[in-house]
Chains A and B, each alone.
Chain A
């Protein structure tokens, strides 16, 4: 390691600001414009929200397994914690309207406050400048604002629970007229207004982020970093940002339309002749299906926003721990682009039984079938990458491989619903619940865990504990499959989602034991995250200290100090090759950093040499 690399990150981080005092602390760690601090702020916030979303999920599961607390284990009356908090006078039994609020908020928190910001906000921010060799984002102030829009959004969203009528209760999809008519449901009052304002604020945050990512990736790459030398993480972040930039305005506009429907009496989504509480509506002339088209025009690309960055990060992790170049780099890039392109023309598959013209359904069906193709290509390329490699089952690698395994399930189950006649039966059943949890939790969240373990040494200069990490992986992997896999079978029976008590129906009467099993697994899955949180916070302070490149990886970020100081690199990175040249015959080491000049050239002064691989 050259002498230039011994940098104290804390001194560096304060560079450019007035030193000392409270204002120094505030400008360095609170209203920081450094992409790494912002990335970590996003990471910590989203992990807190992840916990909240997970607990909401348990509340939902409790009701599904033991409706109204009947027959709950250990003689627990009503719903634990939440029941006593909100419904003490009813013996802790939650109300049916509260159940609708629970699943609405679970989905809202998980999608808008966890998955999207942890991928784009936390990892996008942290990794993009480091991996392309830039000293920061193109627009640091915009970047800071993008984080600070998240907390007001979350405050407004949480406030919804405490306004009259309670939280939003129309599902995360907020289908009108239920969401528009204040008389239609208790939560369709001020709670729904809070929801719409919160979503709009999240949208503003995402938009500022995506503009920033696009500009940074296009304009600020280090010398030699051509587009086709970018790590797949960056490619996926780039295409995700494109999706955000083009799809998000539609959601924002639709949200404003719903807001005006609610507040100033427009009628975009309200038809003529409808009633609410036996009263005719004040306005009309609109169409409830219009919302669904607008909403899914954003939210279908958004499901790729929620998976593509994880795919990118998993590709990097797999290549690193297979000690082998990624198989088919360009097909991988083209598949990401293909998914994004097709992602704009498949939104109608959410609406096969909505009343949309059935001929239109056929078109969307064919497009949807075709979008399975790039996903399949990616899976085959991941398998090709580990073929004939030298696999190292570190914690990040185990999470990354589980992403592949779980994504196969999530991808294949999608084909059932893409088939329109089959979708008639399994639409809005637990089959779809199983499908998107396999993609979003078993896929994205597992990929994110892998990414946290992988880049943690870069973020904090210390390793996370591997044994605890493997225990965390083992428990999460078992319990998540116990939770989500049986849901497929529930879906085959037709068990509908969003029902507070489905056992009163003859056809679903016998599904209670299966649901109890699922709930136990869900409890185990949330409990297993204690291992993760303990490891995470312990390792920040007490983890084993490491140097720049503990995994022996090729990416640019591993040539910067750990953690990188303000301005990231203590030398000017020059890129000579792509990021996946592992096991290259050109060099003796099994990795070949992007900045390492080819052997025949003389080594310029000031570029740190590669460090040996730490034991894993």
Chain B
């Protein structure tokens, strides 16, 4: 086959780019739905955009290097190339160029993203609209709302399992814990992911911008039932959320007589 082997290698950039284009393209995206899940958070687009910046940069390098490889394979195959192999051990200048340019690009990416990281993991909201404690436990999510006094560990704490209600357009602060093994609190539609570690209380925050029901996924292997540790995030208006809390309180009041202390 000789130089025609290069065509096999050409399939890599061609099909690889095509797959990403089809997945990303506005027209085919709703059809295939093989791209980022719908973003319903205030901050998710920052992560998506950062992904796109890196995709453009790496995509250019990907296509450039792959095509160079294919081109060299096509051009310098022994039977077609009449010129003798060039006897060279390299070039200092070229080495410097292809060291400095990638280094600068990588440094740019590194610095460019620092702010987003700080916003998502360091700068905790000062005055969250609501705080909730989420405790991972094989294989369910235990939720605790602070009740009207907005403080935990008081008698008016409200408990629930797997279905997290939050008000829309408010900063939500989650105290993430685990009672047994590692779990991971993953909200694909809000670009939120954080491991829950027993013995630690980890703050997680987000702000949902759209009402609806969204998946809460456990994304850290936690045992045989890991796949079914499924929760729901229900984003609703402030009124509906308050009504939900009131309902929760009523139910808890009824069952408080029969069920003993549950401290989870």
Contact = CB atoms under 8 A, between A and B. Distances in A.
B257 interface: no
B116 interface: yes
A579 to B, nearest CB: 12
Contact of B76 (A354, A370, A388, A585): A388
Interface string A286-308: 01110000000000000000000
Interface in B191-246: 191-200, 202, 214-215, 217, 219-228, 230
B155 interface: no
Given A376-B102, A421-B46, A424-B193, A100 B226 contact: yes
B8 interface: yes
B189 A492 contact: no
Interface in A347-378: 353-355, 358-359, 361-362, 365-366, 369-370, 372-373, 376-377
Interface in A557-616: 580, 582-585, 590
A427 B184 CA distance: 11
Interface string A171-213: 1000111100100111000000000000000000000000000
Nearest to B46: A421
Contacts of A511: 34
A394 to B, nearest CB: 10
A530 interface: no
Interface string A304-325: 0000000000000000001111
A45 interface: no
A592 to B, nearest CB: 10
B114 interface: yes
A325 B89 CA distance: 6
Given A365-B117, A424-B120, A505-B230, A325 B88 contact: yes
B73 interface: yes
A389 B86 contact: yes
A358 B121 contact: yes
Interface stretch (B103-111, B126-134, B166-174): B103-111
A582 B9 contact: no
Interface in A494-518: 494, 496, 498-502, 504-507, 510-511, 514
Contacts of B94: 384
Given A412-B62, A421-B113, A481-B12, A185 B90 contact: no
B110 A366 contact: yes
A428 B222 CA distance: 13
B188 A424 contact: no
A424 B15 contact: no
Contact of B117 (A288, A393, A409, A420): A420
24 contacts: A100-B224, A175-B220, A178-B181, A184-B181, A273-B199, A289-B200, A322-B85, A331-B90, A353-B184, A369-B110, A373-B106, A381-B90, A383-B69, A384-B94, A387-B86, A388-B85, A390-B78, A424-B193, A474-B8, A478-B8, A485-B19, A493-B35, A505-B217, A506-B215
Interface of B: 1-3, 5, 8-9, 11-12, 15-16, 19-20, 23, 32-37, 46-47, 50-51, 54-55, 57-58, 61-62, 65-66, 68-69, 72-73, 76-78, 81, 83-91, 94-95, 98-99, 102-103, 106-107, 109-110, 113-114, 116-118, 120-122, 138, 178-182, 184, 186, 188-189, 191-200, 202, 214-215, 217, 219-228, 230
In the complex, the 3 A-B pairs of residues with the closest C-beta atoms, listed nearest first: A271-B199, A97-B224, A328-B90
Given A372-B106, A500-B226, 19 more contacts: A96-B225, A169-B224, A271-B197, A322-B85, A353-B193, A354-B197, A361-B121, A362-B117, A390-B78, A393-B1, A415-B54, A415-B109, A416-B58, A419-B113, A425-B191, A428-B184, A493-B33, A493-B188, A510-B33
